Amino acid sequence: MNPKHTLYWMLLAGALFGYIFLFERHRPDEEARAQVALRLFPELNPAELQRVEIVRSNQTILAERVEGEWRLANPAYPAQNELIEQWLARLGELTRRATLAAGEIQAQPSGAATFGLDPPVAVVSLHQPPIRIQFRVGARTAVGEKAYLQLADTNEVVVTDAVVLNGLPESANDWRNATFVDLSRLAFNRFAVTAEARDFEMQFEPEGRRWRMIRPRVARVDEGRFVQALQQLQALRVERFVQDQPGVDLEPYGLDEPALSIEFGSGTNVVFGAQFGHSPTNAPELVYARRSDYPNVVVVSRQVLEAFGVPYRDFLDYRLVDVPLDEAVQIEIQGAETFTLRRQTNAAWRVIAPRTFPVDPVLLRNFLERVAGMAVVEVAKEVVTDLDLPNYGLAEPARSYRFLASAEATNAPGALLVGLDFGSGRDERTFARRTDENPVYTVKTEEVQLLPEAAYQLRDRRLWEFTTNQVANLTIHRDGRSVKMLRSQNHEWTVDPGSQGIVNTFALEEAVFRLGSLWARAWVDQGADRLDQYGIPQLDHWLELELTGAEPQRLRVAFGAVSLSGGPFATLELEGEPVVFEFPLEIYYVYRDVIESLRPW
C-alpha cells in the first residue's frame, strides 16, 4: 500500500473519531428528546405534589401529603403511600399519542360522550404549588391499551396510555391503608390493656432494657410472648370499613363498652389507642374496631382478642432467672455448707471460702445452665410479707444462691445480678423466691436437688497427676491382706519381701499409668460419717502409691460398693476430709487385672 494513502486514511479516521468524541457523544438522543416533548404534563413532579382530588360521579376522593405521608381527607384515614406514589409516577410518564381535532369530536353523534368524557370517568386535580394540573379521564380506546383525556387548560382531547386508568381509585377505600396500625411509626415505652376486668399495664425500663409489668403488680414480662402479640397486632388488616361519620352511636358495634382496649404511651402521653367490640352477625371470626386517632369503625380479625384479651399472667416471664449468669464474677452459696466461688483473672473459677481449691469448668457450666433453665411452675402467692415466709420455709431458706457481677473496671464482685432462695417442698415442688421480687413461686424439686449445696460438688474432678517413673511402690490392701510391689529404677516390678504374690508387669504398668491421671466421674458425698453408706469400711479395700521426688507423697484411695455408673464408689482425703466419688470404670478395669494376678487372697 502507498504510504501516502495510509497516512491519509489514518488522518481521516482520527478526524472522524474527534468529531464523534466532541459532538456526537454530547448530542441528546433524538427519541428521548421526542418523548420529553410529548409528555402531557412536563411540569408535573410527583415528589412536590401536595394534594390529589378525584371526583367520580357523586363522590370526591381527596388525598393530602402530611409530613411526607399521604392521608385521605374525605373520609379522614391513612392512605396507602405506595399506591398513590405509583399512580402519580405513571401520570408523570404519560405522553401524547394523538390529538383529536374539535371537528372529530363534533362529528360524533354523541359528541364527547363517545370518548367517555361526557360525563367523564373522573375529574382529576393535582395541586403542586404554585401550579395546578386538572384533566378529565375518559374511556379506553376501542383497540390498543390507550385512553382518552381532556386537558382542562386547553380543552384538548388527547389519546394517551391506558395506565392512567390503572390505579385510579373507584372509591376512597381503594386508597385506604388496610394496615390497622403501623407500630414501626410509634415511639412508646408504656403499654396497657383493659379486657373485661383483665386490666394490666407494662413499662419499658431503659436501665435494664426490658419490659416490666407494673399493674396489677410488679413482675418481669415474657418479652418473646409480648413481641409475638405485637406482631399479631402489626399484621392486623382492616377487612371492611363500616362507618366513617364521627359521633356515631357505638353501641351497635359493642364499642361503647369494648371487649378489649389497648393503649400505647410515651410517659404520661397516649400515642395510640384502639378499642375492639363484638362480632358482626354471622361473622364470629371478626370484630368491630376503632382507632383512637380516627373515628372510623372497621372490621378486623378477632385474633387480636386472643392475643391481648388474656390474663396478665400470660405475659409474665416464667423463667426463674432472666439475667446473664455468665456476667457473674462471684457466687455465694448456702446449703449443706456455706461457701464462695470467685472467677479468677484467667477466667478459671476457684472456691475461696471456707477452703480454697479449683472448680471444675464442666460442673460449673452445668450448674449455671441448670439455674438459667429453671422455670416457675406456679405463683404460690403474689403479695408476700415477712410473716408469710415461714409458711414456705423461706424465713431461713434451705438453700440460697447469690450471683454477683463485676464492679466497674475491676474483677472484684460488685452489684447483685440475682439472688435465689429455696425453701420447703410440697408435692414434688419446692418454694422459691427471688430477692428482688415479692412473690413466692414453686419450682420442680428435682431441679433444685441437682444444684450444688456443698463446695466439694463443684471441685475440679482431676484428683492428681504423676508419671509412672515417679512411683516407688504400690500397696494393695484387701480382705485384711496387703501386697506391696516395688518399682526399680530399671522399671522392673518385684513383690516386697514381706509380701506374697505374682507380679503381672504389663497389667501393673498399665494400671499405674492410668492411675497417674485419676479423675472422679462424679462427686457423691463427703464426711467420715458418710462412708458406711457406700460400703467403703465394710469392703476394706484400698491402694496406696508412694511417689519419689523433691517432695515424696503418699496417695491413697479406698474402694466401696458398685455405683450406678458401674465403677465402684471410692474415697480419698481432700483438705483433711474424706470425699466420696464414682471411680472411673475404664481405670478400674485395668486395676482389677492387677488384683486378679495376685490371687489367691
Distance separating alpha carbons of residues 422 and 320, to the nearest angstrom: 12
| Position 22 pLDDT exceeds 60 | no
Chain center to CA of 127:
46
Mean pLDDT lowest among 98-107, 169-178, 262-271: 98-107
- Nine cell digits for residue 329: 464474677
Reported as a single tens digit per residue, the pLDDT across 498-557 is 877 778 888 899 999 999 999 999 999 999 999 999 999 999 999 999 999 888 899 999
DSSP per residue, 519-588: B-SEEEEESGGGGGGGTHHHH-EEEEEEE-SSS-EEEEEEEEEE-TTSSEEEEEEETTEEEEEEPPHHHH
Q: What's the pLDDT score for residue 540?
A: 95
Percent of the chain whose pLDDT exceeds 70: 92
Q: What's the mean pLDDT when you consider all of the chain?
A: 91
The CATH architecture to which 468-597 belongs is Sandwich (2.60)
- Predicted confidence band of residue 301 (pLDDT cuts 50, 70, 90): very high
Distance separating alpha carbons of residues 599 and 540, to the nearest angstrom: 17
pTM over 0.75: no
Query: How many other C-beta atoms can be found within 10 angstroms of the C-beta atom of residue 417?
Result: 21
What is the SS3 assignment for 227? helix
Percent of the chain whose pLDDT exceeds 90: 77
Q: CB-based contacts of 577: which residues, under 8 Å, 6+ apart?
A: 526, 527, 528
Reported as a single tens digit per residue, the pLDDT across 417-469 is 999 999 999 889 999 999 999 999 999 999 999 999 999 999 999 999 999 99
Q: Would you put residue 501 in left (φ > 0), alpha (ψ -120 to 50) or beta?
A: left
Calculate the alpha carbon distances from 346 to 206, 343, 349, 411 in Å.
32, 8, 9, 11
The full set of domain ranges for the chain reads: 3-28, 39-167, 183-315, 325-458, 468-597
Q: What's the pLDDT score for residue 26?
A: 47
Chain center to CA of 286:
30
Closest of 399, 454, 451, 387 to residue 423, by C-alpha: 399
Q: Which residues pair with 413 in a beta bridge?
A: 406
Q: What's the pLDDT score for residue 20?
A: 53
Q: What's the pLDDT score for residue 498?
A: 80
Q: Quick one: average pLDDT of 60-70? A: 94
Q: What's the pLDDT score for residue 8?
A: 55
Q: What's the pLDDT score for residue 113?
A: 93
Reported as a single tens digit per residue, the pLDDT across 66-113 is 999 999 998 889 999 999 999 999 999 999 999 998 888 888 889 999
